[in-house]
Amino acid sequence: MSDFAAGVGVELDLGTKMEKLVSAFHEWLRVEQEYQRSGPVPVQLRGNVTCPSSGSAFMDLGGPANGRLWIVRRLIVQGLTWNTTAAGSCNIHVTSLNNQLALGGQDIVDNSTALPNKAFYSGWQVVVVNPQRLMVEIVGGTSAQIYGASGMAQDMPLIGVKVVASE
């Protein structure tokens, strides 16, 4: 391959990458303009997990994209259906830890001593900021039983929001 042909290949590759970058920026701009016009975007939260024979079970309900935050407004934790008798309790964690075994009390934002449980939160009560995740921990659940969680969060840009972390 000649130096000229190699240079053209590099140029085409760089051009393709720049087009993807510009496209991603335009998508971000569209979402930001939509937020400015309509306000927060509703996000449906859903997850399920089968309880192990020992220890806790964890459901990862996700987290906001980079530069975004979620304000959690509703969360329901139950057995497979609302009418399913579900043993155990649950803890709700907001964490950036990848290791579920490392989750501790400092990450808990809510808990329930009985299931099913329905929780409604006021604005800014439960906030998830990227790279954090919303996790549901089932404690003392029935082995091999399916537990589910659903809810709603509001997604909004982190721009203009001051986040203060304590140590």
- Write out pLDDT tens, residues 73-123: 999 999 988 888 889 999 999 998 876 666 777 889 999 999 999 999 998
Residue 27 is predicted with a pLDDT of 82
Q: What does the longest C-alpha to C-alpha distance in the chain come to?
A: 72
Question: How far is 107 from 56, CA to CA, in rounded Å?
Answer: 15
User: Model's pTM, two decimal places?
Assistant: 0.75
The band of 165, judged by pLDDT with boundaries at 50, 70 and 90, is low
The three-class DSSP label of residue 109 is: strand
- Which of 28, 101, 29, 18 shows the shortest CA–CA distance to 58? 101
Residue 44 is predicted with a pLDDT of 97
Residue count of the chain, please give it.
Answer: 167
The band of 167, judged by pLDDT with boundaries at 50, 70 and 90, is very low
The band of 16, judged by pLDDT with boundaries at 50, 70 and 90, is confident
Kindly list the distances between the CA atom of residue 77 and the CA atoms of 120, 129, 140, 153, in Å, as whole numbers in the listed order: 12, 22, 14, 15
User: 14 vs 91, which has greater pLDDT?
Assistant: 91
Residue 36 is predicted with a pLDDT of 75
Taking the CA atoms of 86, 113, 132 and 142 in sequence, report the sign of the dihedral they define.
Answer: negative
